[in-house]
Structure 1
Amino acid sequence: MARTFPNEVDVVIVGSGPTGAAYARVLSERSPGTRIALFEAGPLLAEPPGVHVKNIDDDGARLEAQRRSEGLRPHTTRAEARTYADPMKRVVRSGTQVLPDGYQQPGEDGLPAAAMSTNVGGMGAHWTGACPRPGESERVAFLPDLEELLDDADRLLGVDRNPFAGAPYSDVVRARLGAEFDPGRAADRTVRPMPLAVHRREDGALVWSGSDIVFGDATRANPDFTLFPEALVRRVIVEDGRAAGVVVEDRAEGGEHEVRARFVVVAADALRTPQVLFASGVRPPALGRYLNDQPQVVFAVRLRDLSPSPVAEQDPRGRSEIVGEGGVSWVPYTDAEPFHGQVMQLDASPIPLVGDDEPEPGTIVGLGWFCAKDLRADDRVEFSDEETDEFGMPKPAVHYVLTNRDRRTIERARAEIKRAASVLGEFIGDEPLELSPGASLHYQGSARMGETDDGTSVCGPTSEVWGVDGLYVAGNCVIPTPIACNPTLTSVALAVRGARAIAERIGARVPASADVA
């Protein structure tokens, strides 16, 4: 890291979340000597840069890291620190900030629970680490190498496909769910452990993957890579139809800097990536459109008819609010059942169980069903040419509607989650709860990828923006399909493809317009 901004580099990366980190890692591995500058609007939380907050041992330091991720209106409570209270009483997760306004238009559903993180590592410093593979219609059909790209994304994220093997009652949970859901499914769509971006140290403690794991030693040891925290990219410089650099505001010391570059990768998030492009005058017809979240239904049960099992000695997630030693099971999406199910064994009941002793960890099970959205061009984030947000960028306004098809899907998800709960145990609560739009934090589509430049996409198969040579986009916003599973693995896979394309072009010194198919 440094505070002396360069005048010129080969590649600028905007945003330090998992996909921005993936570009830095792949370029460091494949294109030695390439000068890379990564600019992050938020602060450094802890060492190593991009570390997941769950890996911060000290309670106070972890709380401070979460608060510092919450932008200009932090809400996480800290002694003697002013705390933002949302007047609409929206539920806000620690480490994230909601839009102060513009999240819902009259007569629309909006995304009232939409939230972002502003810090080195982005949302990768706070996520749950779930890395399922997309299936059937979730997959990007025009990418023939998708499976190999997902394999490399597994590598970069440090994914373990069965991190809690042998955990108490996990076999019971999966056996019961499998007996109910597996018949008629393809082999890769049957119930199984949830792949998680996590590894266990020699002392038995778990380490959750953040951007630090994605950066890896290859990036940290690269003398030609520099990370600049608290550096807000205001716009991409576009000259003669190609990216030529960025204008960066130094939020730590003040002033603006122009940094020239041959390639620019915008990997902010699904709301701020299109914002940066809009501010740069790069406004293809699909910019901000096809915005989609995953409608989400949740429920809880207590396992029944169990044999005694040893109580877990530790919470494998360090300090999890959600998962105990039982781990996480996965009911994959299918086209026939267009939901992605996460089944999480908890340490305690989400509500008091009157008259009962404290349940054994792993016997309380939380279920979350994520629905594939009905994609529409009219679901979008728009930006103002006159008004600005709290960071001085074009102010966003979200237009978002749940269609009749979406509502039918949500009702089916209610029935499916009750079906899953009924084979596991006794319901906790009366009915499944539908969460507010935006609660999944899995926003996609606002800078979507397309096979051809037909006006329905922002970028091509390597994530290069149509009509602007050398400008790439990255993140969940690039995913073009109505994906219901957790999107990070897929977005990192797409970032790998883009980074390889840049590395090949730098290595061959080919013209910027000669993209990789």
Structure 2
Amino acid sequence: MTDPTATPGERRLPTDADVVIIGSGPAGAAYARILSERAPSARLVIVEAGPCVSTPPGAHVKNIADPDERARAQRRSEGPRPHVDDVSSDTMDGYTSAEARLQRPGTFLLTSGWRQDGEDGLPAAAMSSNVGGMGAHWTGACPRPGESERIDFLDDLDDLLDEAERLLGVSADALADAPLASTVRARLSAALDDGRTPDRRVQPMPLAVRRTDSGLVWSGADVVFGDETRSNPNAVLIDEALATRVLVDGERVTGARVRDLRTGEEQEIPSPFVVVAADSLRTPQVLHASGIRPPALGRYLNDQPQIVHAVRLRDVDPVADASTGDTTITAQSGVSWVPFTDALPFHGQVMQLDASPVPIEGDIVPGSIVGLGWFCAKDLQASDRVAFDDGEVDDYGMPAMRIHYTLTDRDRATLDTARRAILEAGESLGEALDPEPLVFPAGASLHYQGTVRMGAVDDGTSVCDSRSQVWGVRGLHVAGNGVIPTATACNPTLTGVALAVRGARHIADALTTH
């Protein structure tokens, strides 16, 4: 795969391709990986609006050992309006902030259009611009969907999830034996497992992470690309290259128009296949800018309302060899999972920390401070959507986004139930650090879905078919969490990559049979 960091004088935008992939996050990387494995002679062009911030391209910033270098990578991921240098790059700093426009390091917020009059909006709606996308900044949690989270018209979903776990390097064992993790799981299980099926009981969180002698290595898009893509001479990755338009002739895609953000050069890249994997907000933006506007485009936007709580484990002894004073997830930390059920439509991510994220008196046993995060399934509505203003442009010169988003009575009832459930879970573990859980502002989960959703039939309620091909436009695929059509509470990356695998296999079959 061509080095994306070549200087402007050394690189040229390709003149043609067999597949253009717009976006280099986990879903775009999955297309590149599957195509490199199944159609190695195909010419792949991957374009990314943001810069390359790591070596190898797309690596998780947690793997950057030097804190100053890590901070620079996060700042460079924050789009046209990055944080100032003196803002902390520690993801735990201010994590429990009640700030309405909550912004995490490595991401940037919409400058406008995030709320419309009389609506709740998504004040914390955020994106990342860098090779690897949000996959360079995520928590690595990869739970499988269950019950109504599953997509019932895909009979091969479990096979696809297996493949997604392979690409992401998912394991439930990496932190399962962390000090005090078994204590946390045992207490949660005693309190919460009654009536749950075995697959929905408390268990270690499946994580895209591996343990090494030197510590933890977190999966980013680099792991998904794999050596298969990196060694593919027919794959080209170009950073700081903005796809401004998908080209269509009748009912067939013919390529993409790309602007080199370093030089301003703009060029059309002819291609019989185009994959738009730009994230759940920018993928519909690219289609809208291209005049491809099926009725469901941008609609059924859903975030996962999120509530957090923190406790101190009761009755635990000091842990030998545990790190101290570190608020990140380490090899001494554990991450447990409370799965979604239809009866309790939220999912719990339970993280042990080696220090408290808030001031606390007395000595702290590392791993005894536990953060609980409950993510709720959204009541899906076509009216929840990202729309686009053709009369105004964003910082990239693309149609400006206008978020329409409201919580329903059902959503508020789910949040109230989640509040009671997280308090119950916290009580089973220890003493609360704050008596009341905190509800994060809408958009803070970063788990946006539905805007280019998949459907079994073209009835106006979906954007693409079961292979992620846009209805009525042969050769045009969409990818990422926006393709997920169900109301989920679990972290969506594993499912988004699984659906990308299905689409990539379809393209590979088409390329190798013609």
Partner AA of 1:131 in structure 2:
C
Which AA in structure 2 matches 1:12? V
Which letter maps to 1:46? S
Question: Would you say 1:220 and 2:230 are equivalent positions?
Answer: yes
Rounded to whole Å, the distance in 2 between the matches of 1:433 and 1:299 is 6
Asked whether 1:237 is paired with 2:240, we answer no
2:311 maps to 1:301: yes
Secondary structure of 1:341 counterpart: strand
What TM-score do the two structures reach when normalised by structure 2? 0.94
- 1:482 aligns to what? 487
Match of 1:167 in 2: 178
Distance 1:130-1:249 versus aligned 2 partners, 3 A rule: same
Q: Quick one: distance in 1 between partners of 2:135 and 2:84?
A: 18
- 1:210-289 → structure 2 map (5 Å cutoff): 210-289=220-299
- Considering only aligned residues, what root-mean-square deviation do their CA atoms show, in Å? 1.4
2:427 pairs with 1:422: yes
1:44 has 2:49 as partner: no
Q: Are 1:194 and 2:205 an aligned pair?
A: yes
Please say if 1:54 is aligned against 2:66: no
Residue of 188, 193, 200 corresponding to 1:177: 188
Native 8 Å contact 2:204 2:335 kept in 1:
yes
Name the CA distance, whole Å, in 2 between partners of 1:309 and 1:325: 9
TM-score, normalization by structure 1: 0.94
Q: Distance in 1 between matches of 2:285 and 2:330?
A: 35
SS in 1 for 2:411: helix
Aligned to 1:407: 412
Amino acid at match of 2:283: T
- Alignment correspondent of 1:382: 387
Residue 60 of structure 1 deviates from its aligned partner by 1.2
Q: CA deviation at 1:339?
A: 0.7
User: Aligned to 1:409, what secondary structure does the other structure show?
Assistant: helix
Alignment deviations for residues 205-233 of structure 1 (CA, whole Å, 9 cap, x no partner)? 21100000000000001000000000000
1:344 pairs, out of 348, 351, 359, with 351
Alignment counterpart, residue 377 of structure 2, candidates 364, 372, 378? 372
Q: Secondary structure at the match of 2:349?
A: strand
Shift of 1:323: 5.8
How far did 1:320 drift? Answer: 5.8
The 1-side partners of 2:377 and 2:343 are apart by 12
Indicate whether 1:392 and 2:397 are aligned: yes
Task: Report the counterpart of residue 82 of structure 1 in structure 2.
Answer: none
| 1:429-444 correspondence to structure 2 within 5 Å | 429-444=434-449
Verify: 1:35 aligned to 2:40, yes or no: no
**In the alignment, does 2:332 pair up with 1:325?**
yes
How far 1:313 moved relative to its partner?
3.9
C-alpha displacement at 1:89, in angstroms?
A: 6.8
SS of the residue 2:196 aligns to: coil
- Residue by residue, what CA displacement relative to the aligned partner does 1:422-454 show, whole Å, maximum 9, x if unpaired? 110011111011100000000000000000000
Contact 1:311 1:360 in 2 (8 A): no
Q: Is the Cα contact below 8 Å between 1:294 and 1:440 reproduced in 2?
A: yes
CA contact (8 A) 1:64 1:78 kept: no
- Aligned residue number for residue 63 of structure 1: 71
Aligned residue in 1 for 2:93: none
Q: CA deviation at 1:309?
A: 2.9
Structure 2 residue identity aligned to 1:375: L
Mapped contact 2:50–2:239 kept (Cα < 8 A): yes
2:120 corresponds, among 96, 109, 128, to: 109
SS of 2:208's equivalent? strand
Choose the corresponding residue for 1:459, options 458, 464, 467: 464
Unaligned runs of at least 5 residues, structure 2: 5-10, 88-98
Match of 2:13 in 1: 5
Distance 2:37 2:322 in 1: 40
1:235–1:277 Cα contact (<8 Å) kept: yes
Cα-to-partner distance string for 1:277-299 (whole Å, 9 max, x where unaligned): 00001000000000000000100
Q: Is the 8 A contact 2:327 2:354 kept in 1?
A: no
Tell me, yes or no, if structure 1 residue 155 matches structure 2 residue 155: no
Measure, in 1, the Cα distance between the counterparts of 2:51 and 2:197.
45
Q: CA deviation at 1:306?
A: 2.1
Partner AA of 1:186 in structure 2: T
Partner deviation per Cα, 1:132-151 (whole Å, 9 max, x = no partner): 00000000110000001000
**What is the DSSP-based 3-state SS (H/G/I as helix, E as strand, rest coil) of the residue aligned with 1:176?**
helix
| Matches of 1:65 and 1:32, distance apart in 2 | 31
Q: What percent of counterpart residues are identical?
A: 62
1:16 partner SS: coil
Q: Is contact 2:102-2:441 (8 Å) kept?
A: no
SS in 2 for 1:160: coil
Question: How far apart, CA to CA, are the structure 1 residues paired with 2:261 and 2:82?
Answer: 17
Q: Please state whether the residue corresponding to 1:244 is helix, strand or coil.
A: strand
Q: Distance in 2 between matches of 1:205 and 1:425?
A: 29
Letter paired with 1:337: L
Question: What residue in structure 2 maps to residue 204 of structure 1?
Answer: 214
Structure 2 Cα separation of the partners of residues 287 and 302 of structure 1: 45
The SS at the match of 1:159 is coil
Residue 94 (structure 1) aligned to one of 87, 95, 105: 105
Partner Cα distance (2:445, 2:189) in 1: 25
Deviations 1:39-67 (A, max 9, x none): 00000102100011111111111111000
Structure 2 CA distance, aligned partners of 1:43 and 1:320?
28
SS of the residue 1:151 aligns to: helix
Aligned mates of 2:276, 2:318 — CA distance in 1: 52
> By how many angstroms is 1:327 displaced?
1.4
- 1:126 corresponds to which residue? 137
